Amino acid sequence: MRFADIGQQLRAYRLESGLRAEEIAARLGVSRAALYRYEKGEVIKLDTIRRLAELLKISPLSLLGIGVEYFTRPAGFQERLRQVEEHADQILQVGGAVCYQVTTEAFDGALAEAWTEFADSSTERLQARSQAEQALGLLAARRKLYQQRRPSIIGMLSEASLRRFLSEGVAAGLPLSERTRNRCKLAARSEVENVATLMESVPIGLQIGLLSSSDPGNGFMVLRGRERAHVCTSPFPADAPPSGAIGVGSITSADEAIGVHQRVAENAWRDALKGAAAASRLREILRSTAV
């Protein structure tokens, strides 16, 4: 068994469970420090894996990285996605309004303001604040990882998703003040303009296309590393709220799943608008969308 991998899985599922580390450690009858050592890759007994799986309400195979991993909370999914990205040399993204790794500071700034305002309006303010800070930290870790490793990215964004993004702004669906919602909408416009610029300039290792004729019903990513490839599907975009989001994300390294999603991604890339044509289309959409 690869205990470092098991430790990573354990951290992701701890976040997925919503339980605090102290609670899990107490129920297992170990110290919090011991739990953190497991997460860092210390040898863990099979019986402990079984008990952890029962506590976290998952299959023991999930902690061993076998089969399909399921996530119902954005935090657990974002952490597991970060772990997969840590070993990815190529990322194929199909669907969505942005490739988070290449978003600007405007996106993160608007998102932080929106999540903080929403948390402060919650009846459980301190817990909501903690969740927002944790979620922002996970996104920051993903961005830092990309800047350090620079995997190649081929992203196929959905025109329908981009139109919704411009209409509602960053952190869509949250009840926000008019000032904050306007900032979120302006941030969305800034991101779409940034995408158009990237399409025109085509930086090394980054290609972005536009799916204008079809809207992927369920976006996904294929991430390939030297040893393994994974398919990640998720209803949780990067700006999904830390709490209250409804859906099930999944991650698998099954060869059949990778092959099917790879073929869909290749076909989507073939049909996507690219380069100057895609950038021109985005700017048309910007002009036709009210501020």
Q: CA 139 to CA 100: how far, in whole Å?
A: 9
Question: pTM above 0.85?
Answer: no
Q: How far is CA 36 from CA 24, 85, 194, 225, in A?
A: 11, 21, 39, 26
Give residues with Cβ within 8 angstroms of 53, minimum separation 6. 59, 60, 62, 63
Helix, strand or coil, per DSSP, at residue 160:
helix
- Residue-wise DSSP of 46-75: HHHHHHHHHHHTS-HHHHTT-S-EEESSHH
Q: How far is CA 56 from the centre of its chain?
A: 21
As given in the structure block, the two tokens for residue 39 are 């997460």
What pLDDT was estimated at residue 196? 97
Residue 165 CA to residue 103 CA, distance in Å, equals 13
Q: Give CA–CA dist 238/222, Å, rounded.
A: 17
Find tokens 């992927």 and name the residue: 216
Per-residue pLDDT of the chain (291 residues; tens, 9 = 90+): 677 778 888 888 888 888 888 888 888 888 889 888 888 888 888 888 888 888 888 888 777 777 788 998 898 999 999 999 999 999 999 999 999 999 999 999 999 999 999 999 998 899 899 999 999 999 999 999 999 999 999 999 999 999 999 999 999 999 999 999 999 999 999 999 999 999 999 999 999 999 998 777 789 999 999 989 999 998 889 999 988 778 999 999 989 999 999 999 999 999 999 999 999 999 999 999 876
| Confidence at residue 246, expressed as pLDDT on a 0 to 100 scale | 85
Q: At what angle do helices 178-201 and 275-288 cross, to 10 degrees?
A: 160
Q: What pLDDT does residue 6 have? A: 80
Q: Where are the beta strands (DSSP E) in 135-285?
A: 152-158, 206-211, 220-225, 229-233, 249-252
Q: Which amino acid is at 265?
A: A
Neighbours of 266 (CB within 10 A): 13
Strands (E), the chain: 69-71, 88-94, 152-158, 206-211, 220-225, 229-233, 249-252
Please tell me the predicted confidence (pLDDT) of residue 139. 95
Name residue, tokens 């600007």: 104
What pLDDT score was predicted for residue 46? 83
